[in-house]
Amino acid sequence: MNERLEKLRKRLGVQWKELAEMLGISVPMLGCLRRGERNPSEKVLARLSDVESGKVVLHTASKERIAVPVCSAAERDVLLKRIAELESQLATALETINNQSKALAQNRPPVAPASGACGGAKPSERAKRERGAG
């Protein structure tokens, strides 16, 4: 495992801390894996495979996971910042739409059926006929 991790770290040109972040584990845990003191979980092995294949899964502020190409920590920070900005814009847009929908619902006049719809006669004519028949 140590050789595999070392080759990957050198190929990516990252520090151990950055590799640990890419794998979603702590630096001490990465050290244990390197020294053979712990075996990697299936989850860590899957992440390792993703990183080796050139993908990293980022966790956004909204707890979503997105796969992006392997990049430097600085590039990753820029990506996460942009994602956070877009999530904020989306939240604002959804709030605006929700507020507009509520406003429309409160200000909408009741819709009466058109003459001849739903039973033929206007409601006032139907009421007159019912009173006369009873």
Q: Is the pLDDT of residue 69 over 90?
A: no
The domain segmentation of the chain, as residue ranges, is 2-90
Tally of CB atoms within 10 A around 25: 21
When pLDDT is cut at 50, 70 and 90, the band that residue 59 belongs to is low
CATH superfamily of 2-90: lambda repressor-like DNA-binding domains (1.10.260.40)
Q: For residues 57 and 43, what is the distance between their CA atoms, to the nearest angstrom?
A: 12
Residues 20, 32 contacting (CB under 8 angstroms) = no
- Give the residue from 37, 4, 41 showing the smallest Cα distance to 19: 4
What is the rounded (10 degree) CA torsion for 59, 69, 82, 13?
90
Write the pLDDT tens digit of every residue in 70-93: 666 677 778 778 888 988 999 999
Residues 45, 30 contacting (CB under 8 angstroms) = no
Q: For residues 16 and 77, what is the distance between their CA atoms, to the nearest angstrom?
A: 17
